[in-house]
Each structure stands twice: as structure tokens, then as C-alpha cells.
Structure 1
Amino acid sequence: HPRFSSFIHPALIPPPAQTHASDTTEIKAVGGSVTFHSNNTDTQPALWNFGNIPIVTVLFKGSSEPLFYEDKFKTRFTVSEDGRALSISQLRMEDAGTYSVTIAGKISTFILLVYKELTEPTVTCESQNCSDGRCLISLRCSVPGTSFGNVSYTWRVRDWQWERQSLEITVNKSSQGQSEPLTCTARNAVSSRNVTVTSPEGLCSGESRGKVGIWGKSGICSSDGMEMLGLGWADPAPQRTRKMCREKWVWLIPIS
């Protein structure tokens, strides 16, 4: 019996597609726009994909009419720079994903992340414990809604700030005077919103008004980023507690 061997001439095998080592990541907000640019200067046709779904092809340099694969892409997707750039307008959450352009067997990949802009944060009272004319109150800052991605929270009063979502404060009911306002700032990748609480003690039902001081394990002196040790509670009405902060005395509300 004759013996056969299969052989394919190397010239008939298409070259493998090459993917760029470093992908480009774009972070955008819902309703915004984005443009992906390819650095490939080859004059061959350009094919854009969303994942495995073809979007549009530009046949050759100077081609006047791009070929969209589906009508839905014609409303918000445009190509320019002879097919080397793809723009998307009025971004939606479902636009997030991996985009790629193939030119002469070479692939450039782009990752798009889409998030909603934050709504105004709200501050709520989680708990309160009162004894000896003083109440320990736990406040929580949060942003209602979803699809915001990672959200970070910062509490600030005067020059002090804390990177956390919940904060404990004390209310000295025997003291009189204006409470220290607290500001909570929420941030995500595309936006930042804040809310200021002028009467923190009023967030808990049945709480009497009084002088407010911060009560926590440690604090950050935001003017120079130095972490400060706990000082313990001191009555804020007749006096203020002071602490050395990088060889400079600064007046602080009580921290512990």
C-alpha cells in the first residue's frame, strides 16, 4: 500500500495574529464618550470587534463608507483616521467590555469600564449609647444606588480626616454651643460627591442637643498626613485638647 503524508506549504498558512502586550484601559461615566486609537499605520482593512462581535470594517485607507455589521452600531459608533479610531457616544453600562481592532493580522485591544456618577451621599445613625450625660453615636455614610464600582468614603472636620465609611462621635449633653459640622465625601472612578452634617447629634431619634467631638481609635492630621495617637476625651466646652503635630502646636477637637 502506498504511504501518504500530509503537507501544507508554509506560504499557505496565514500568519498568527499578534496581540499588543499592553492593553489600553479607559474609565468613563454613563452618558459620556470614548475614543480608541490604534497606532497601527498599515494600509490594510481595519476590523473592530466588541468581544467576539464584529462592529465595523473600513476596507482600505481613504474608504468613504465604513461597513457596519448591525444597524444598532450606526447610531452611537463612528470611525475616523481611516479606521484607526473608534468612537462611542452616549455611553451605557452595557458598553463596558473588551474592544479590539485587527489590521494586517495585528490586534490592538482596549478595555472599557463604565460607571454611573455618584448620587449625593446620605448620613444615617447606626447606633447610640448614652451614659453620664454623654452619648456615643455611630454614623454611617453611604451612596444610594448601584453600578458605581468601588466607592471610598472620607470624613472631615476642620483639618482632620478619616478614610472610613462609619465614624463614631460623642455628644456631651451638658455642654452648650455650636456643634462641629462633619463632611462626608464619597468618591468613585468617575465622580465625587459630599454632604455636610451640621447637627450630627440630631440624626439619632430622641437625642438631645449638645457639644460634639470626634471619638475614634486614631486620626489623621490632614495638613501633613501625620497619624496621631488617641488623646482621650476632654470636655470641649471649657477647654480644647492640643497635640504636637510635626513640631507645631495645633488646637484640635477631642480625639481618641
Structure 2
Amino acid sequence: NQEHLIQVIGLLQHSVELLSNVSFSSSVQEADWYFKDKVKIAQFENHQPKFYKNHFEGRLELHHNGTILCIKDLRMEDSGKYTVHFIVSDTNYVKEFILMVYEPVPVPSIKIILEEQTSHWCNMSLNCFVPSNSSTFNYSWTYKHIKSVQELRTIGDAIHISLNYSWGMEFQCIVGNPADQKNVSKQARCYVTGDTTKRMYFFLIPLLMIALSFLVLWKIRKK
């Protein structure tokens, strides 16, 4: 029954322990560990551990009378179902585990793309890139503005924002899976570009001409 399986998360090339979380008033006579129901990988009997030759060779340890199995140097193919059968006072007990091994999250990067710019606003997209082919990553975003940190309610590796010229904001992309997490931050600011500057000049020149005309007329009348 899936709901009785103990879920365990592991990180590639790290270690993990399968904890049976059992305590017996009598000592454990025997503990047999299986991988995917068929492959016997370890045994604890007569107070001695025994390990079988398979792809786990040299990577297993038994602790606490065989009730805890430690797997070292995890590999992706270690993911799967593990079962342990205990014999205590001639009574059988069974515990089942599902181990999921995940890759470490690579360091992400943020790319800012200017999509549209007006005389007052910049519309941008921020894309969070992870150098991996894995699709198991989760993305979340936060931003910092005037010493306050807010979480963006968005799902996915990209966000769309609008900034005016007086704003400068720091955005953080957080990438994770159930076993690991990485983050990266980047400043986003709306800058006046050459085209925008030209438009401002075209707008200011007529105003300056009008002001200059009034100044000349005022001096003529004063004479």
C-alpha cells in the first residue's frame, strides 16, 4: 500500500539512511534488506552484518541491529523500493521505503530582456536559466525594493515586469528540487536609451525656443 511506504529523499553522490523507526523489547534475530522486492542486498544475523555482491557493493552499512540501512555515494539508479524483514522473538515485521535520488541543482543565471520602452516605463522579462536537461526543478522569485523583500506569486522560470526610470529593483530566482536548492540575484533598472534621449530633446527644444523668444521680447520692451 503506497500510503504505508516511508518516503526518503537522497542527493546524488551523498549518503542517506533508511530509518525503520522501530524499537523492540527483544533483540533482533535477523534483518533482511531487499531492493525492488527481489534483490537481497544486506542481512543482519547473529549480531553480524552481511552484504551481497551487487551494484551496492562497498556502499552499504547496517546500524542499530540492522534496523538502519545507510547507502553511501548515492547513484541515480539507487532510486526505488526498499524492504526490510525483521524477525524478533520468532515474529516477522516488515518496513517498506521509497527512495528518490535527485541531482544537485546547478547554479542558475538570470537574463534580462527589454521588451518595450516608453518615455516613462520599461517592460522587461527576466529568464532564469539552469544548465541542465532535468525538468524536475521548481522555480520561485523574490524581489527587493527600498529594503523590503517580497515574494512574487508566479510559477515558472520567467517573469514579466514593468519599471519606471526612478526604480531599481533586485530580483532573486530560487531553483530547487526536493533534495537541493540554489539561487541567483540580479539588479533590474530602467535606463534612458539614446532613442528616448532624442525624444526628450525633440520635446525640450521647442520649449527652449519659446522661452528664448519671451526673453528676447522682454529685453526689447525693457529698452
TM-score interval (norm. to shorter): 0.5 to 0.7
Instruction: Tell me by how many angstroms 1:147 deviates.
Output: 4.3
TM-score, length-scaled by structure 2:
0.67
User: 1:216 matched to which residue of 2?
Assistant: none
2:9 counterpart letter in structure 1: I
Provide the C-alpha distance between the structure 2 equivalents of 1:115 and 1:46, rounded to a whole number of angstroms: 28
- Judge conservation of contact 1:57–1:83 (CA < 8 Å) in 2: yes
> Alignment partner for residue 47 of structure 1, among 32, 42, 53?
32
Provide the C-alpha distance between the structure 2 equivalents of 1:112 and 1:91, rounded to a whole number of angstroms: 11
Q: How many residues align?
A: 181
TM-score, length-scaled by structure 1:
0.60
Q: Deviations over 1:200-241 (max 9, x none)?
A: 558xxxx839xxxxxxxxxxxxxxxxxxxxxxxxxxxxxxxx
The structure with the largest alpha-carbon Rg is 2
> Alignment partner for residue 189 of structure 1, among 146, 158, 178?
178
Matched, 1:198 2:187: yes
- Structure 1 gaps, min length 5: 1-18, 210-256
User: 2:47 matched to which residue of 1?
Assistant: 62
Higher helix proportion: 2
> Alignment partner for residue 73 of structure 1, among 30, 44, 56?
56
Structure scoring higher RCO (CA < 8 A, sep ≥ 6) equals 2
Shift in CA distance, 201/162, structure 1 to aligned 2, threshold 3 Å: same
- Judge conservation of contact 1:201–1:208 (CA < 8 Å) in 2: no
User: Residues 1-256 of structure 1 correspond to what in structure 2 (within 5 A)?
Assistant: 22-38=4-20, 39=22, 41=24, 43-51=28-36, 52-58=38-44, 60-63=45-48, 65-66=49-50, 68-104=51-87, 105-125=92-112, 128-132=115-119, 134-147=121-134, 149-158=136-145, 159=148, 160-164=150-154, 165=156, 166-172=158-164, 175=165, 179-199=168-188, 208=193
Shift in CA distance, 43/168, structure 1 to aligned 2, threshold 3 Å: closer
Provide the C-alpha distance between the structure 1 equivalents of 2:52 and 2:132, rounded to a whole number of angstroms: 35
Identity of aligned residues (%): 24
Provide the C-alpha distance between the structure 2 equivalents of 1:146 and 1:40, rounded to a whole number of angstroms: 43
Instruction: Tell me by how many angstroms 1:184 deviates.
Output: 2.1
- Structure 2 gaps, min length 5: 195-223
TM-align CA RMSD: 3.0
